[in-house]
Structure 1
Amino acid sequence: MNMEFDSLDRFRASPGAELGKGPFAVLVAEDSVALNNSLEHLRGLGFKAILIVAPVGMDVPAAPKSAKRRPPPQFVIRHPSRQSGAAEAVVNALIDKVPGVWIHYCYNGEFLFYPFCEDRTVGELVTWVMEERRDAVLSYVIDLYAGDLTTHPDAVDLDGALLDSSGYYAETRMGGPDGKTELDRQMDFFGGLRWRFEEHVPKPKRRIDRVALFRAKRGLRLGPDHRLNDEEMNTYACPWHHSLTATICSFRVAKALRTNPGSRHDISDFRWHKSEQFHWSSMQLMELGLMEPGQWF
């Protein structure tokens, strides 16, 4: 059974203690496509509670009963999930309620991978990251897509998912008061379907980097560009060595390109010579250079 808040305001007014202990996952359900799969993936990673943002009327599956282990509690926040700013509004509300707790956020049809996630829980991951005196894990959104768009017209095919094995690049991130200062250990990352079909993707949405796992603290804010207002938490590594990074494998862009009226008739196939079958494996992602284990072995 899911616990429900009938509005974001009602969630804001509730005591943070009723959520239990973290780390927490926030899943923004823009529709029901692969929603149950994303929820099951989050449960398997060991999140202690899952908050699901869904509009009134959307059916949200409850956590299945299991004789082996008790599933984490699910809290449904009724809020227009496709409304601009929905993700950051809910995440920022959660930040205010649970300072010191680790938070991951994603959308339906997205799946968090980190090094060795098949054998290590997200709790073990964040414990290691804190030992390295870091409060955030930079993540790269790697597009997944169906190979046969006739059979899977919405481009979502979990059993036959493909990804781009190359074509990723980074540019120096500029900032500061004048917008022309090179930011230390920050870069803008690009690639995947947003790069190959960039004519259909607005420029502000072409980046694939996202600070998708971080430790909440008072005054912290997530912005619409998936960056935090603490510049150190937007860095890809600490000053002294490489840091662990993660990957979010996502059908979200492929689904949008195939369902939006402005692009769906222009795209008949996402495959190219660098497409590769996705094996749902953290080792595959590390071997492709799409995430970094750092010093965690």
Structure 2
Amino acid sequence: MSFASFEHLQTSKETLDTKGPLALIFVEDEVEINSTLRHHIALGFKQVVAFMPKGFKMHYELEEDILRVDMENTTGQAMIDMVNKVAQAVPGAWIYYCFNAEYLMYPFCESRTVGELLSFHNEERRRGMLSYVVDLYASDLATHKDAVSIENALIDKTGYYALGRNDPDNHNHPKERQLNFYGGLRWRFEEHVPKDKRKIDRISIFKATPGVSLRDDFTLTDEEFNTFACEWHNNITAAVCSFRTAKALKTNPGSTFDIPSFKWHNSVPFEWHSRQLLELGLMEPGQWF
């Protein structure tokens, strides 16, 4: 189903599922649109909504499973505003957001749906889920000039770290149960990445709540949503496996000629399985068994 705008979707018979979970996919370019949409459909989201420019194409087989909304600018503040607009329309529903060429994975996602995951997380009285944006990149940049290859993707097996997140409203004391996470290509090629864009943590899944909105650093205005664990024990975290940084570094004229390859001694093939991410410590099962 296609809609000329989000307002058109809201006034149509094909309304948003107010119970969710909803996946909002923001399509920035024409790279891996179909694989991104198929991946999130397979996870079991009740609805997958693709916000994308009118000229971009998706496979015809996906048209029945996707709510497509025309949106010319799908990055920056426009994207943040749209997430918040959707959240206002479906209070109480779980919302996930990402860009094209990004793939959500969570512990045991091969056998458990995202609905089961979020039902459990809800029972834990959690309303936000921390995710790490884990960089993927093609093994051969001569063949894959945009650094994107599903079949030959690599991942960094080490080089991730966390620092305390200081609270400017509390004399810069560290915020409780919050950390800034770094690593991957944004760390290895930090000279090409603005300082305020180097974090790899996102609250990419949250429960739409009146009065709570997404900020431009991918955190929520209610600080409890931004914590990695509750006060009693660790909670589930997820991973958003993403070609987005690699793609940007190789298509940006200011960095592409400085990067002949993303491979280094800690590169390993990406297995497209949650077990690998768990073993590398890139997500946490918490009490989720």
Question: Do both share a fold (TM > 0.5)?
Answer: yes
* Percent pairwise identity: 49
Change (3 A) 1:250 1:83: closer
The equivalent of 1:18 in structure 2 is 15
Please show how residues 39-54 of structure 1 align to structure 2 within 5 Å: 39-54=37-52
Matched AA of 1:59: K
* Aligned counterparts of 1:293 and 1:180: Cα–Cα separation in 2: 31
The equivalent of 1:38 in structure 2 is 36
* Aligned counterparts of 2:223 and 2:13: Cα–Cα separation in 1: 26
Residues 112-121 or 50-59, more deviating = 50-59
Deviation at 1:77, TM superposition (A): 1.8
| TM-score between the two structures when normalised by the length of structure 2 | 0.95
Structure 1 residue ranges without an equivalent (≥5): 66-70
Please show how residues 202-213 of structure 1 align to structure 2 within 5 Å: 202-213=194-205
Deviation at 1:84, TM superposition (A): 2.6
Change (3 A) 1:101 1:82: closer
Please show how residues 172-187 of structure 1 align to structure 2 within 5 Å: 172-178=164-170, 180-187=172-179
Structure 2 residue ranges without an equivalent (≥5): none
1:34-86 CA distance string (max 9 Å, x none)? 11001010011000111111122222334449xxxxx7x42222122344313
Please show how residues 264-283 of structure 1 align to structure 2 within 5 Å: 264-283=256-275
Deviation at 1:175, TM superposition (A): 1.3
Matched AA of 1:149: L
Residues 99-108 or 78-87, more deviating = 78-87
* Aligned counterparts of 2:59 and 2:85: Cα–Cα separation in 1: 23
Q: Answer whether contact 2:51 2:74 (CA < 8 A) is retained.
A: no
RMSD: 1.7
Change (3 A) 1:63 1:48: farther
Q: Answer whether contact 1:15 1:97 (CA < 8 A) is retained.
A: no
The equivalent of 1:61 in structure 2 is 59
The equivalent of 1:99 in structure 2 is 91
Matched AA of 2:253: P
Deviation at 1:176, TM superposition (A): 4.3
Q: Answer whether contact 1:16 1:98 (CA < 8 A) is retained.
A: no
The equivalent of 2:232 in structure 1 is 240
The equivalent of 1:196 in structure 2 is 188
Deviation at 1:219, TM superposition (A): 1.4
Change (3 A) 1:224 1:183: same
* Aligned counterparts of 2:169 and 2:13: Cα–Cα separation in 1: 36
